[in-house]
Chain A
């Protein structure tokens, strides 16, 4: 099990460094999904994301609501799995990973739905009104 975890960790890092970093999903989320859902699904999810230089696509309708519900539901499952009746075994660990990954997916959906290009860029003062002097 240790070897399995270490191989998955190494592959997750590799995917996040080589692919996730250059894409809209980013290093953190690419690493997170690869680690929690396994490198195979993590790689596919990372590659589904477009490169950084491509234009953004608008979020789905109700993405924030869906993400919140998903995070809350799987978050509760993950918390309940943290206190198993019969101690931690392999199946509990896997279930905890799956629930944690899904809770993270909900948070990811909420965060992505909140990205507001115009506002965030204006806040960074990249688009000042003309500087009169």
Chain B
């Protein structure tokens, strides 16, 4: 049976997407649909499709071949043999699926690390650190004000201050986590030189 799969649609990118766009789209989708993390039915199928699409589109030779099939299918709407067993696509597709199955069996954290090393991501760090600084300042101010209220035996205001301190502690931890992640992504992004 002759079949055609729209890899651009699977990765949600335009046909003229650059390799960097493909990497970004793949990383986003693969992390989102990794079966170890995403327990929704259908996630594993999507994960395998995403990996298959990435394997084909990131390789210039495979992509050129695929683009011809793509143009044939969407241009003339003839599409005779995009993934039939007589063309190299069948083998490429099967190889990509085997890799996807291996990745799907990898624990999510290990897969995320692997992707970080392979692909990376550009992200600004300065706004995160600014927010972290503001949050820590607010926390310090909250502690000072709450202590003052306690000294004046205004317990109601002190409890309100305590809630604010708790919020800023959580916010600081969360901001630190986000900043750290964006730093790691940027570091590997620069390393990969894409």
Interface residues of A (CB under 8 A from B): 19, 40, 43-45, 47-51, 53-56, 58, 116-119, 121-122, 126-128, 130-133
Contacts and interface: CB of A to CB of B under 8 A. Distances in A.
Lowest 4 A-B CB distances belong to which pairs?
A55-B31, A47-B131, A118-B40, A130-B3
B31 A126 contact: no
Contacts of A53: 24, 27-28, 121
Contacts of B174: 48
A35 B127 CA distance: 19
Contact of B4 (A48, A127, A133): A133
Contacts of A40: 134, 138
11 contacts: A44-B131, A48-B171, A48-B174, A48-B175, A53-B28, A54-B121, A55-B37, A118-B33, A118-B41, A128-B6, A133-B3
Interface of B: 1-6, 9-10, 12, 24, 27-28, 31-33, 37-38, 40-43, 45-46, 49, 79, 83, 112, 121, 123, 127-128, 130-131, 134-135, 138, 171, 174-175, 178, 181-182, 185
A118 B42 contact: yes
A74 to B, nearest CB: 15
A128 B33 CA distance: 16
A51 B123 contact: yes
Contacts of B40: 116-119
Nearest to A131: B4
A47 B114 CA distance: 26
A49 B28 CA distance: 16
B29 to A, nearest CB: 9
A67 B5 CA distance: 40
B182 A51 contact: yes
A47 B128 contact: yes
A47 B5 CA distance: 38
B49 A127 contact: yes
Given A53-B24, A132-B1, A133-B2, A47 B178 contact: yes
Nearest to A132: B3
Contacts of B9: 126, 128
Contacts of A45: 171
Nearest to B12: A126
Nearest to B5: A130
Contacts of B31: 54-55
B134 A131 contact: no
Contacts of A130: 3-5, 83
Nearest to A18: B127
B188 to A, nearest CB: 14
B175 A44 contact: yes
A128 B4 CA distance: 11
B28 A44 contact: no
